[in-house]
Amino acid sequence: MEYNSFSFMKQGFDWQETQSKDMVEIDDRHDSDEEELKHERDIMKADDLRDEWRESGMSIGDFFDDRGW
């Protein structure tokens, strides 16, 4: 047995396949992060619009006529 040699670790280990799986996982995580950021931006935008609406002094009744719509 050779000491200070990692040849025994290479046996049965497909580093290219492992690297490929890691890259797919990184891409999936990146896509998930982008979707999460987009969702958070949408929520923040809705919150800003709601705050702006409240500050304007408008009420929900301003959007309806006498018939209720």
- Sequence-ordered list of residues with C-beta below 8 angstroms from that of 35, at least 6 positions apart, any chain: none
Over its length of 69 residues, how does the chain's per-residue pLDDT go in tens digits? 556 566 666 666 677 788 888 888 877 777 778 888 889 999 999 999 888 888 888 877 777 776 655
Q: Where are the beta strands (DSSP E) in the chain?
A: none
Amino acid identity for residue 59 in this structure: S
pTM of the model: 0.44
| Two structure tokens written together for 12 | 């049965």
